[in-house]
Amino acid sequence: SFNSSYFEKKAKVWQRKYSRRRHLAKLLVLQNKNKRVLCPRSLESFANWQKAQKSIARYQAKAANQRRDYLHKLTTHLVKQYDVIALEDLKTKNLQKNHHLAKSIANASWRMFRQMLEYKCEWYGKKLIAV
C-alpha cells in the first residue's frame, strides 16, 4: 500500500497556513469595509494568501503524480508477469465508512488501478476477471 508521503505532509502544513492567512485577510477586508476606507482591499489583493494557495496546489499535485506513477509501475509489472488477473469487485463507498481506513483506501485509488489494469490487459492481450 501507499504510505503518507513527504508531499502530503507538506500539503497539510500549507493547508494550515492557507486557512490562517485567508482568515486574517477576510478580517482585514471587513475592517476596511467597516471603517469606510477610501480604497478598501479585496480578498484577491493579499499576496501571501495566494502564495499559500499555490503551494498547496503544487504539493497536492506532486502527491497525486507520485501515486499515479506508483500505480503505473505496479500495473505494468502485473500485466507483464501474469496472463490471467482476477480482481475483487469492491464497494469502496462502504469501506470508506470505516474512519480508521478511509484515508488509506482513498489513497490506494482502486478505481484508477482497475482502469489501468483493464487497458493494459487489452494492450498486452492478457485476461482480466472481475470477481
Residue 86: per-residue pLDDT: 92
Residue 4: per-residue pLDDT: 65
Beta strand segments in 1-131, E = 84-87, 127-130
pTM for the full predicted model: 0.75
Listed residue (66, 69, 58) closest to 10, CA to CA: 58
**Cα–Cα separations (whole angstroms), residue 112 to 22, 36, 128:** 33, 52, 15
The residue type found at 131 is V
Per residue in 63-101, pLDDT (tens digit) is: 999 999 999 999 999 999 999 999 988 788 788 888 888
Per residue in 24-72, pLDDT (tens digit) is: 999 999 999 899 888 888 888 999 999 999 999 999 999 999 999 999 9
